[in-house]
Amino acid sequence: MVILITGISSGFGLETARLLVQEGHTVYGTVRREVEKLPGVYYLKLDVRDREAVRSTVQQVVDKEGCIDVIVNNAGMGIGGPVEFATEEEIREQMDANFMGLVHFATAVLPSMRKQGEGKIIAMSSIGGVMGLPFQGFYSASKFAIEGYCEALRLEIQQFGIQVVVVRPGDFSTGFTASRKKTPNAEAMQAYRTYAESMAKVEQDETGGLKPQVLARKISQIIRKRRPRYGYVVASFEQRLSVLLKRILPARWFAKILGSYYKL
């Protein structure tokens, strides 16, 4: 299969590219900067926020390979802090990288997938895409947007034999934790006295989380499945349970549980 993965410089993208090329797939991956390259992977340097660059790059792959069978929309970033203190620039960067990057690639790849009558679009959401995480409000918002977009997209394109699968990781030990942009504003720290403690809890959970190879194996399984589920939660038992509780408990009850966990 010809597979295109966005954001393969580290973490999920890197390990997924590594595994899929080992399995014999033709793998293309996007990066924004120069990185040490994996053998057998074709690297594409671009910013997923640049719609025209995405369109041009996708067309180059289709022209060379004849098709793109699977796209894994993995590229993204995170900002942390009270939503009150997020700047306009931070909010736009968050939404553009996580949500609009997905939109750009899906829009670019759909014409060729419709023509071939099949394909898979795998979108990286998060358990933060089904529950609003405190002090990661705009990260959650970007993932909620992915959930809604994919739900609508799935219905629109199922007539063409194209599948849309949403993957919702929990806490993983990757470089994402260190690269998260956090509000350094002294006023924010003073106004929200639990902010520092809550973010410390988040980072502790992430650094002690699952390894990215776990998610790479799940993506490989999804690619191989003829009829994959609409969505997968890839997380610890406790986090999978939290997703279930979000669905079945009254909103007020679940809010108390989540607030207590983050010491709010």
> Does the structure show a pLDDT above 80 at 83?
yes
What token pair was written down for 51? 């719609």
What token pair was written down for 127? 């358990």
pLDDT of residue 204: 80
pLDDT of residue 202: 77
Annotated active-site residue 198? The verdict is no
DSSP E strands in the chain: the ranges are 2-5, 26-31, 41-45, 70-73, 79-80, 119-124, 162-169, 181-182, 231-234
How large is the average pLDDT for residues 43-70? 96
What is the residue extent of each domain of the chain? 2-261
Annotated active-site residue 139? The verdict is yes
Q: Which of 151, 114, 117, 176 is nearest to 231 (CA)?
A: 151
Annotated active-site residue 192? The verdict is no
Q: Token pair 């989540």 is at which residue?
A: 258
Banded model confidence at residue 113, pLDDT cuts 50, 70, 90:
very high
Give Cα separations from 237 to 74, 116, 171 (angstroms): 23, 39, 11
Banded model confidence at residue 165, pLDDT cuts 50, 70, 90:
very high
pLDDT tens sequence across 215-236: 999 999 999 999 999 999 999 9
pLDDT of residue 190: 79
How large is the average pLDDT for residues 243-262? 94
16 Cβ contact partners less than 8 Å away, ≥ 6 residues apart: 5, 8, 72, 74, 215, 216, 219, 220
What token pair was written down for 135? 């002090």
What token pair was written down for 182? 């956090």
Annotated active-site residue 143? The verdict is yes
pLDDT of residue 197: 78
User: Active-site residue among 120, 126, 139, 242?
Assistant: 139
> Does the structure show a pLDDT above 90 at 199?
no
CATH of domain 2-261: 3.40.50.720
pLDDT of residue 164: 98
pLDDT of residue 245: 96
How large is the average pLDDT for residues 189-207? 79
How large is the average pLDDT for residues 48-69? 96
How large is the average pLDDT for residues 42-48? 95
Residue 261 has phi, psi (to 5 degrees) of: -65, -40
Mean pLDDT of the chain: 93
User: Active-site residue among 28, 120, 125, 218?
Assistant: 125
For 23, the 3-state DSSP assignment is coil
- pTM (two decimals): 0.92
